[in-house]
Structure 1
Amino acid sequence: MAFISLNSDEPGIRGLFLYRPETAGPLNELVEVLLVGDSTLSRGERELIAAYVSSLNECRFCHSTHAAIAAAHLDEGMPLVEQACFNPAAAPVSGKLRALMDLAGAVQRSGNAVTERHVTAARHAGATDREIHDTVLIAAAFCMFNRYVDGLATYAPADPTVYTERAQQAAGYIAGLAELQGQN
């Protein structure tokens, strides 16, 4: 049960967005730009970074949600997502994505944990300044989202099919918010 009285039974951040729609809009705009907007990283790669940071933060709702979306956008599906989230050094991902995930992991620990070594490794693996920027912002944003969701003890379904089914429908975050608000 959430620490505050929410006005819906929606799980995780979805319930929080319905509780405070005026904050939901800007947060969804940010995540839309970072995970869906134009990028040289694929949607699956960006969702994987979000899922990875959420797994490090032990946020079941956000990890499960973004892992399912990443799996829907990556040819290798959930087996790759699980391996990358729990053992990124051994995951069959590109050197660039591995370096960006290492960078995201440093951001998750602390902004001050990011060193020139992380940035140099990402650049040597082929990451652009924009990809480095966006990775840091994805990681930082998901630390905030994870703390928002878990800090208010929102409900996170244990059944993975809930997340898989929703991931199949997820076109974008702004459209999803409008649909959610229209249902309630």
Structure 2
Amino acid sequence: MDAGLAAVLGALAGAVATTGAAFATGWSAREQAKIAARAEHRRQRRDARQTVYEDFINAVEALIEAARLIHLDINEGNVIVAPSSEEVQPLENSVGKIATKVILAGPASMSERVQELRGTARSLLINLLRIELRIKGMSNVSEEKGVMLVEADCVALGRLIAEFSQDAQAVLDDDGTQPTAS
């Protein structure tokens, strides 16, 4: 092989190696940028979710606390203290508004639990309204039955919010390194 051909082949091999290294470096840099962008996106979503999940848990707990102020005079079978629907309605509305934010914050797996919580919160408000109407003589539901329904809704809300909290923790702990179950 003459020296000229060897020099050309050497230059060509160097150019191919340099081009290959440049492509590999570019591809690696692009993949690293994707990973960093995805990690930042996940962090931002997690932070937003944590805030809305906290607000939702607090709203449901405030609703339960307000509803549990109801007391029944066991001897007479009459409600002696009951929150009015006017006091509870804003709390129930708050649960509904924040529920929408939770659904939008996702993931989709949280929607079913939120819908169940929302339905039970509505039921609680309706049962408090029944007691209020009974006290005013406008309903045939006994006060004792109304109190039992309110207490059952409070217990259900407590159980559901505990389950929601566990699910929220799992969502917030997800760092994206494990495949998600479909």
Same fold (TM over 0.5): no
Q: Report the TM-score, using the length of structure 1 for normalisation.
A: 0.23
- More relative contact order, 1 or 2 (CA 8 Å, 6+ apart): 1
Output the TM-score relative to the length of structure 2: 0.24
More helix by share: 2
